[in-house]
Amino acid sequence: MKLLSLSELELHMNREYFIPKPYSKTLDNGSVTWSSPSNIALVKYWGKKEHQIPENPSISFTLDYCKTTTTLSFSKQEDTSEFSFEVFLDGIEKDDFKPKIETFFIRIEAYLPFLKGYHFKIETSNSFPHSSGIASSASGMSALALCLMSIEKQLSGDISEAYFNQKASFLARLGSGSACRSIEGDLIVWGTHQDINDSSDLYGIKYPFDVHENFKNYQDTILLVDKGEKQVSSTVGHNLMHEHPFAERRFEQAHENMSKLISIFKTGDLDAFIKIVESEALTLHAMMMTSMPYFILMKPNTLEIINKIWSYRNETNSKICFTLDAGANVHILYPENEMENVMEFIKNELVAYCQNEHYISDQIGFGANQIQ
């Protein structure tokens, strides 16, 4: 018999916490709708273990405008050996979405035992174009997880808001790792970190410490450099960290940057914030360029934008900075009091490097909302 390490035992016990007791109520049919936002990581998660467990902790700003709205309709059926569901995006049936949702349902069935007792109709739409190059997995999977939790709440009759959000984040993670950071806001931590009490590899938590006014109402303008599908998926990229020559040092760096951000958020030190955020973005892409096989997701215009941002900051003493996801698009972060000047700079200097001059103006948000 295999003996579990202490960390493995803790994970096992925590997973058991999300397995429900027998339901006290029944439901024949109904529907529920949730809207859930995307998020942008400041300290990046890149590399994961089994069961969607991150190799390092991360922290993100929850967004506001960039979100997915999902209506989940359900009708009682005889329990079968298969999941029964259909998926629609903007009213168009999307069979190519089904394998990912099937995998998600397989992963969460132990925690939501009602899944095979219903036929589901999943109707989803994004506030941003599906081809915009913005990953919708975080907002999409978190919205679906919240809808499923609403059904469980009706079946159970009594679930606290804290447990509801925690389990929704736990489930969302099993669909897409970063989705666990989209349930609440405005700053969310995912991954165990020694300086952050109650942080967990299994779900996201609200950042528990003081945050200076400098970081309130922070703005994020997303420059859409490339709307095409990435040539290397995030899942493949994460897996390439297993044999990466610099992986262990990268994971240590993420822990160090998380610790540094605690004092930065407290004091409002925007210059120190900029250094960590931009370094994290470039380190993420450095890991991609030094994996085997290696790959590059940035485009020439990504680099043009970065250099323009650096020049503008040097010339104006602005507190503007950039970050990147696993793609070519650039997130421009800046304090609210700079909005007018930064937007003028974006329109005059940067939109020319965007595909069809497209960009999205967003800001910090505070999590998902139930619509019905």
Residue pLDDT, tens place only, 20-51:
999 999 999 999 999 999 999 999 999 999 99
* pLDDT for the residue 13: 65
Q: Sheet containing 321-324: which strands, arranged edge to edge?
A: 321-324, 330-334, 219-223, 359-363
Predicted confidence at residue 30, as pLDDT, reads: 98
pLDDT at 4: 47
Q: Any bridge partners for residue 361, and if so which?
A: 221
66 CB-near residues (< 8 Å, 6+ apart) = 37, 38, 126, 127, 128, 134, 139, 222, 360, 362
Torsion 263-269-271-273 (CA) sign? positive
> Residue 58 has what pLDDT?
98
Alpha carbon of residue 146 to chain centroid? 14
The reported pLDDT for the residue numbered 2 is 47
Please answer whether residues 177 and 45 qualify as being in contact, where contact means their C-beta atoms are separated by less than 8 angstroms: yes
Question: Tens of pLDDT along 296-330?
Answer: 999 999 999 999 999 999 999 999 999 999 999 99
Output phi, psi for 64, to 5 deg.
Answer: -120, -60
The Cα 218–Cα 332 span in angstroms is 10
Backbone angles phi, psi at 60, to 5 degrees: -140, 155
| Helices (runs of H) and strands (runs of E) counted in the chain | 9, 12
Distance in angstroms (rounded) separating the CA atoms of residues 219 and 233: 27
Quote the CA–CA distance of 277 and 261 in Å, as a whole number: 10
- Torsional sign, CA 202, 116, 159, 14: negative
pLDDT tens-digit profile of 198-255? Answer: 999 999 999 999 999 999 999 999 999 998 878 888 999 999 999 999 999 999 999 9
Which residues are CB-contacts of 45 (< 8 A; sequence separation ≥ 6)? Answer: 54, 55, 56, 57, 58, 177, 178, 190, 191, 254
Q: Is the peptide bond before 186 cis (omega within 30 degrees of 0)?
A: yes
Residue type, 152: E
Q: How far apart are CA 56 and CA 287, in angstroms?
A: 14
131 vs 224, 300, 311, 353, 359, CA distance in Å?
10, 20, 30, 17, 13
pTM for this one?
A: 0.95
pLDDT band at 14 (very low <50, low <70, confident <90, very high): confident
Tens of pLDDT along 252-302? 999 999 999 999 999 999 999 999 999 999 999 999 999 999 999 999 999
The predicted model gives 61-85 an average pLDDT of 95
Res. 133 pLDDT band, cuts 50 70 90: low
pLDDT at 155: 97
User: Is residue 370 pLDDT above 80, yes or no?
Assistant: yes
